[in-house]
Structure 1
Amino acid sequence: MTFHTPAVTGKVLDSWAYRNGVKLEFSRLGKPVDNAFIESFNRTVRDECLNDNWFLSLEHARKLIEEWRVDYNTNRPHSALGGLTPAEFAAQFEENFQ
């Protein structure tokens, strides 16, 4: 297993983006509203999963987080998706654009 510093990871990401024609856009430092959707999701994960569980091992954490993710995406309707679950929304999207 290889571990990289954030600087090395950043250089690898920048190189990949350049090779693939991807323009990277960064949030302004101290401006979480620049990326409000992920900030909201991160808060939801923290409040509903990470803060509510006691992880006994990395394997246990992966299991509980995966269970939460499946529930979040398949069982819970989201107001931002018109009351659909993410799975229902994705299926509807696929159906409409095939």
Structure 2
Amino acid sequence: MLGAGVAFSMDGRGRFLDNIFIERLWRSLKYEAVYLHELRDGLDAQRIIGSWIDFYNEVRPHSSLGGRTPGETYRNGARAA
């Protein structure tokens, strides 16, 4: 790696575990919104995906957040459950 000029990140950012959370979000989005609707154009996609993201952040409880929504967690200072 060093011979190829590749530098290793030592600050913890970009760790492989970070990808788990975004992959789970994309999976949920696809199975709970995208695959259930016919997205004919960008306006449909914007409306359906935007609506789902609002639901995900403000209505849907998350077990990893102690049953709270991400919105509640954010507004309350992201304290652990």
Q: Determine if the TM-score, normalized by the shorter chain, exceeds 0.5.
A: yes
**In 2, Cα distance between equivalents of 1:34 and 1:23:** 10
CA distances 1:55-97 after superposition (whole Å, capped 9, x unpaired): 1211111011101110111011100111101111111117x7x
Flag the structure with more relative contact order, 1 or 2, with Cα contacts below 8 A and sequence separation at least 6.
Answer: 2
- Which residue among 6, 24, 29 is the counterpart of 1:45? 29
**In 1, Cα distance between equivalents of 2:74 and 2:14:** 25
Structure 2, unmatched stretches of 5+, are 1-10
Give yes or no for the alignment of 1:78 onto 2:62.
Answer: yes
Structure 1, unmatched stretches of 5+, are 1-21, 28-32
Aligned length: 69
Partner of 1:25: 14
Q: Name whichever structure is richer in helix by fraction.
A: 1
RMSD of Structure 2 on Structure 1 (CA): 2.4
Give yes or no for the alignment of 1:65 onto 2:49.
Answer: yes
Partner of 1:8: none
